[in-house]
Structure 1
């Protein structure tokens, strides 16, 4: 009896959401494509009238040749007050601040009422990076992605994070589940629920956030931390997961995770020395010892096919090719690498 009443309440809530979306120019489908603690994400469609009203939306969807969007519905009436007053405004600010980058999910519009807040977002229809790694591992009958594919994807991820940092946003929840792929195979960084702005590079933060498996050790130790350097640690975990199909450190409890991290990093399958060097450069226990994004962008594993041209360009500009510089980050922004289209990934669990 209780389950029947719950289903009826859910149906009523959904019909309210359909009506509210229609009033704002969107057709909400029943296909749920994601969910969070206080939110659900549905596939939606922009009406022709909405496309005439919203230039940002129309311009982007015209290039995609469809009218599909992702509509994130946050139950602000049920969420804690701190979430509604602190984290949700930060998420919206971060999405607006990072507009427009090809590897960051776009926020087209927001509308709200006393019960709910709606975020109309760019649709990334091929699922998340975790699903892609698991599906590819099954297809290859070998854990992880081939290094060539991992390189293409990781370059785009680094480009997205560099863009965020350049506009004063730290993500603080970088993980495979928060990296999506669109229908063209482009990476889309998403879920800025824990993101925060900063004005000084030396600014320190103290909010414990993120997933333990991807969280920097200084956060696990409950120390004040630099958000940019914490993001760099998470990038190292992501790259390790991409090329091995496994997480580098596995523990649920923060204090146990710290013990595992301090035991050191190990590679249990063949990975190129260059890739190992990049991962180790990011997964440094001391935050200041981690490779910066400029160094990551110019790392020899990142640019093997273009290294000769790139080094010649640096020499022609009077720069030392071995010295990390902003050119690497610029190159990534100017040349986001597309990923060849493959079949839709199936849900899996990274080991």
Structure 2
């Protein structure tokens, strides 16, 4: 439109070639690499989408190898300066974790380049893989031995990231690819990654709300490593139960955990430890690896078959095992069957923040009386709209809109 307006203003009586017109300033500032763009071609098949962009299946022209093309609008790309050049933070993080020797449990970046309107990050596209979300959905729930093996692989990948100065910040089942032949995992999507600074306090949350720690709401800030361990606790619960424990901020603040009766005591203990309400009480990654449950191999059978699955238990089949009964009793008549359906949003957090400010001094009992009715909080559609205007809140969530309740276990299908 801008070019056409320029053409009309320059030659009202005759035709002026558009090729002779200067590009708009917004396009002049973008340095394009045509050679990189020509290396790949994009199909229309969308592999996934999230808060920052979409991922499409592509091909490398030179040899026809399948690749994944993550397309991120320039306006939504987090960039950093490296040797005087602006690069997407995700590409920088992938370069850091992929330096020789490479780690097989992390997705490998092949290339990245800029178009007039987007950054494109090219990664490998492993064959015969499925994300862990789908794998769990099909399996219903995983055997403890399978969950143990998967959790160990994830921790090794995270330790490798830490050794290269990167923290992933968005550990969840959808960001893990399962090789269906070998059952080896690959960690993907470094769009929320940060440079590892163990003592840094973050006041902005870029990850997925359903996997985010409670202190981002109660304190308005959080540290990377305890937050990562909390995400691992959510992931482990998800694997052995077939769904995440908290579907919205209200359930997260209540902190009520219910466990399958057939889970081993060590498994339950590890989940509770990772999901400690106080960040300082959570284990470190090496502590998780040394936990008695992680040291078992070929142990007790789990009723949830990794191939055939198991029926979803009713509330009567579950045992309550986390303190907080007083709060649970106050919300006894509130039906909360939905998981992942109410993703945290800027709007939710703005309404919750005034009450959260005094949480530590007054406790959950007194705070809960002043929380707004969740019936009046923004709908999911409103939450998604709110998440696109990420500005004012001190610890607002640039959250992925992933996290719908699994098919057959709630009203919402998987969404991203």
Q: TM-score range by the shorter chain?
A: 0.5 to 0.7
8 Å contact kept, 2:37–2:113: no
Q: How many residues align?
A: 264
Q: Which residue of 2 aligns with 1:117?
A: 119
- 1:93 shift after superposition: 1.6
Identify the residue that residue 92 of structure 1 maps to in structure 2. Answer: 91
User: What's the TM-score once normalised by structure 2's chain length?
Assistant: 0.58
1:120-139 map, 5 Å:
120-125=122-127, 126-137=129-140
Match of 1:193 in 2: 191
Question: 1:2-151 to 2 correspondence within 5 Å?
Answer: 23-48=37-62, 67-76=65-74, 79-80=75-76, 83-85=77-79, 89-99=88-98, 100-125=102-127, 126-137=129-140, 144-151=141-148
Aligned residue number for residue 174 of structure 2 = 177
TM-score (structure 1 length as normaliser): 0.68
Q: Distance in 1 between matches of 2:35 and 2:54?
A: 14
Counterpart position of 1:259: 253
Q: Is the 8 A contact 1:214 1:237 kept in 2?
A: yes
* 2-structure distance, mates of 1:30, 1:300: 47
Q: Please report how far the alpha carbon of residue 128 of structure 1 lies from its aligned counterpart in structure 2 after TM superposition.
A: 1.4
More helix by share: 1
Gaps of 5+ in 1: 1-19, 52-65, 138-143, 308-340
RMSD: 2.9
Residues 217 and 84 from structure 1, CA distance in 2 versus in 1: closer, same or farther, beyond 3 angstroms? Answer: closer
Corresponding position of 1:302: 294
Q: Distance between the aligned counterparts of 1:305 and 1:149, measured in 2?
A: 10
Change in Cα spacing, 1:90 to 1:247, as seen in structure 2 (3 Å) is same
SS at match of 1:233: helix
* Bigger radius of gyration among the two: 2
Counterpart selection for 2:155 from 145, 151, 158:
158
Report whether the alignment pairs 1:209 with 2:206: yes
- C-alpha distance in 1, partners of 2:40/2:277? 47
Unpaired runs of at least 5, structure 2: 1-33, 81-85, 300-305, 309-403, 410-416
- Does the aligned pair in 2 maintain the 1:208–1:222 contact within 8 Å? no
The equivalent of 2:276 in structure 1 is 284
Distance in 1 (alpha carbons) for counterparts of 2:297 and 2:191: 36
CA shift for structure 1 position 183: 5.2
- In 1, Cα distance between the equivalents of 2:223 and 2:231? 13
Report if the CA contact (8 A) 2:112-2:121 is conserved. Answer: yes
SS at match of 2:222: coil
